[in-house]
């Protein structure tokens, strides 16, 4: 069984560069210091393997910590607080004096502070676990030797490795015919570092990245238009959840245009002109924006890796080809994360990093690809794990559904946060949990219970008969499980 390759965005940083008169030899060399790479390096170090990690960014943590998951969550959380103060304070019994408005420069400073703390924390973990951090760009000389080009100058040097883990990650997928300048036409990197709040923001792509950034800038006052080619948003979501999500985000002021094909996007001075076409009727129209975000997915990053020197293979999508133990054609070269097969998620890469290190040391490792959760950090949050209804129908599996709305949950009502529901899908005969889909407050935290149920093959009765604390949002999960085989108590 073959898969592909992962995340090269961030790397551990030491106070010195490592230079060798002759090649230094390691048990393990990891190329890439993102979530997959740095976790693989730490685990290898913990297992007693002499380990180095090569990272070219100059800060650890990859795309996730530097220009992805972490900075976007800072902006999402802080703009949500702004929205609550502006629009909900009175209802919550809070009098706010004076105008409440965003300080965009300070929002960005708060984001950078979070990033710096976390990337610095990874660096400390490297030192704690005696990982050599080689700050620079790594490329194959041959299947056993890696050349390192130091980030801040100096002579290139080479290191040898008994085992190599490639974890170079991914980069934003370009949109044909649209030229990104990271000022007016931006990727997921540029949208996190704008100098001012755009009056009009257009977004190509109604996936997780696009919708999260749409939420951030809508709360800051931008007029946001989302252009999605498919007939629904949130690729991978359960259809019912997707429909509910679009309805709620539209209520928040987002203009979501599904079934819309983008033909062209060009910058003219400080304006971006976008030409679109209705996917069904073929009718064309134009719109203008101050900023255009291109968020149509990510692709594996292997630039400069020189995979040919090691004889590594890639598939038609640019993913490095591996077997079910992450091995390439060479048993000692493994590939993990975004640069190979599977969902491009930081936590998936982390699991693979641990498993790869364990395969090297112990000969066995484990990743359950049927149990990788996804979360969208809009408000309400959306989270899911396991199979959805569409997939079960395609596979011909008989199932039943239990649902429970947050409007009937005491904690959600107390918090004035009642949009959404918990939906649990179970096998029709055994009641074994097959999937869970949550739209609502704290969905990203609650989905962990579903993951545990999937991992241990729990039934919905197991969940329903487990005592959940009151009053908590998690009671909605218990009631949804109960609804698959009986009647919920509070609805």
pTM of the predicted structure, to 2 decimals: 0.94
Buried b (16+ CB within 10 A) or exposed e, 405-419: bbebbebbeeeebbb
Q: Which two tokens stand for residue 261?
A: 């094909």
Instruction: Give the residue from 277, 273, 52, 250 showing the smallest Cα distance to 159.
Output: 52
Bond before 125 cis per omega within 30 degrees: no
Half-sphere exposure for 459 (CA within 13 Å, toward CB): 10
DSSP strand pairing (421-427 vs 399-405)? antiparallel
Q: Which two tokens stand for residue 451?
A: 């993951």
pLDDT of residue 305: 98
Q: Which two tokens stand for residue 264?
A: 């062209």
The residues, ordered by sequence, that sit 6+ positions from 383 with a Cβ below 8 Å of its Cβ are 373, 374, 375, 376, 437, 438, 443, 444, 446, 447
Rounded CA-CA distance 461/324 in Å is 34
Residue 292: strand, helix, or coil = strand
> Helices in 406-442 by DSSP H: which ranges?
410-414
Q: What is the dihedral of CA 140, 334, 57, 202, to 10 degrees?
A: 120
Instruction: Give the residue from 79, 319, 407, 85 showing the smallest Cα distance to 212.
Output: 79
Q: How many C-beta neighbours within 10 Å does residue 16 have? A: 7
Q: Is 379 a catalytic residue?
A: no
Bond before 380 cis per omega within 30 degrees: yes
Residue 325: strand, helix, or coil = coil
pLDDT of residue 18: 47
HEC per residue, 167-190: CCCEEECCCCCCCCCCCCEECCCH
> Helices in 50-184 by DSSP H: which ranges?
62-67, 69-88, 104-128
The residues, ordered by sequence, that sit 6+ positions from 330 with a Cβ below 8 Å of its Cβ are 143, 310, 311, 312
Q: Which two tokens stand for residue 141?
A: 């000389």
Q: Which two tokens stand for residue 33?
A: 């210091």
Q: How many C-beta neighbours within 10 Å does residue 250 have? A: 12
Q: At what angle do helices 35-46 and 104-128 cross, to 10 degrees?
A: 30
HEC per residue, 10-65: CCCCCCCCCCCCCCEEEEEEEECCCHHHHHHHHHHHHCCCCEEEEECCCCCCHHHH
Q: Are 425 and 395 in contact (CB under 8 A)?
A: no
The residues, ordered by sequence, that sit 6+ positions from 417 with a Cβ below 8 Å of its Cβ are 380, 406, 440, 441
Q: Are 165 and 336 in contact (CB under 8 A)?
A: yes
Q: Are 288 and 281 in contact (CB under 8 A)?
A: no
Rounded CA-CA distance 345/81 in Å is 26
Instruction: Give the residue from 341, 310, 468, 480 showing the smallest Cα distance to 401.
Output: 480
DSSP strand pairing (433-440 vs 260-268)? unpaired
| DSSP 8-state assignment for residue 3 | B
pLDDT along the chain (491 residues), means of 10: 34 39 86 98 98 96 97 98 96 94 97 97 97 97 97 92 98 97 98 97 98 98 98 96 98 98 97 97 97 98 98 97 98 98 98 98 97 98 98 98 98 98 98 98 98 98 98 98 97 96
Rounded CA-CA distance 488/313 in Å is 53
Q: Which two tokens stand for residue 253?
A: 């002021």
Instruction: Give the residue from 7, 30, 39 showing the smallest Cα distance to 334.
Output: 30
pLDDT of residue 22: 58
Which of the following is catalytic: 16, 87, 364, 470?
470
Q: 3 forms bridges with which residues in the sheet?
A: 322
């Amino acid at each position: 069984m073959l898969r592909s390759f992962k995340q090269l965005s961030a790397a551990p940083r030491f106070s010195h560069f490592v230079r060798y008169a002759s090649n230094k030899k390691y048990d393990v060399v990891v190329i890439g210091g993102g979530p997959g790479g740095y976790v693989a390096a730490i685990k290898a170090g913990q297992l007693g393997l002499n380990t180095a990690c090569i990272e070219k960014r100059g800060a650890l943590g990859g795309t996730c910590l530097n220009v992805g998951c972490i900075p976007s969550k800072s902006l999402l959380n802080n703009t949500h607080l702004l929205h609550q103060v502006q629009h909900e304070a009175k209802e919550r019994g809070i009098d706010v004096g004076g105008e409440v408005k965003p300080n965009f420069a300070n929002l960005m400073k708060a984001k950078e502070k979070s990033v710096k703390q976390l990337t610095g924390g990874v660096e400390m973990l490297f030192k704690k676990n005696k990982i050599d951090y080689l700050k620079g760009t790594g490329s194959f000389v041959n299947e056993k030797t890696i050349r390192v080009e130091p980030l801040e100058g100096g002579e290139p040097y080479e290191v040898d490795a008994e085992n190599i883990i490639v974890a170079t990650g991914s980069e934003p997928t370009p949109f044909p015919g649209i030229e990104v300048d990271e000022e007016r036409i931006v990727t997921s990197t540029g949208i996190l570092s704008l100098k001012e709040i755009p009056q009009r923001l257009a977004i190509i792509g109604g996936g997780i990245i696009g919708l999260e950034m749409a939420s951030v800038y809508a709360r800051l006052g931008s007029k946001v238009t989302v252009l999605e080619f498919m007939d629904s948003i949130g690729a991978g979501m359960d259809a019912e959840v997707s429909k509910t999500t679009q309805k709620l985000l539209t209520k928040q002021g987002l203009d979501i245009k599904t079934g819309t094909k983008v033909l062209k996007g060009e910058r003219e001075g400080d304006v971006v002109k976008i030409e679109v076409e209705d996917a069904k009727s073929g009718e064309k129209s134009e719109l203008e924006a101050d900023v255009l975000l291109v968020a149509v997915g990510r692709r594996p990053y292997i630039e400069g890796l020189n995979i040919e020197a090691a004889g590594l293979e890639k598939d038609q999508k640019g993913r490095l080809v591996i077997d079910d133990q992450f091995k390439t054609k060479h048993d000692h070269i493994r590939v993990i994360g975004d640069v190979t097969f599977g969902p491009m998620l930081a936590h998936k890469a982390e699991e693979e990093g641990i498993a790869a290190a364990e395969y090297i040391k112990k000969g066995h490792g484990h990743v359950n690809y049927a149990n990788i959760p996804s979360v969208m950090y809009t408000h309400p949050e959306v989270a899911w794990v396991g199979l959805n209804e569409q997939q079960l129908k395609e596979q011909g599996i008989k199932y039943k559904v239990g649902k429970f709305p947050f409007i009937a949950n005491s904690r959600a009502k107390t918090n004035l946060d009642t949009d959404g529901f918990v939906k649990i899908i179970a096998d029709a005969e055994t009641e074994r949990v097959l999937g869970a889909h949550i739209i609502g407050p704290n969905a990203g935290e609650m989905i962990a219970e579903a993951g545990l149920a999937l991992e241990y093959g729990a039934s919905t009765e197991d969940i329903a008969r487990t005592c959940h604390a009151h009053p908590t949002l998690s009671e909605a999960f218990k009631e949804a499980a109960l609804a698959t085989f009986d009647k919920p108590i509070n609805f």
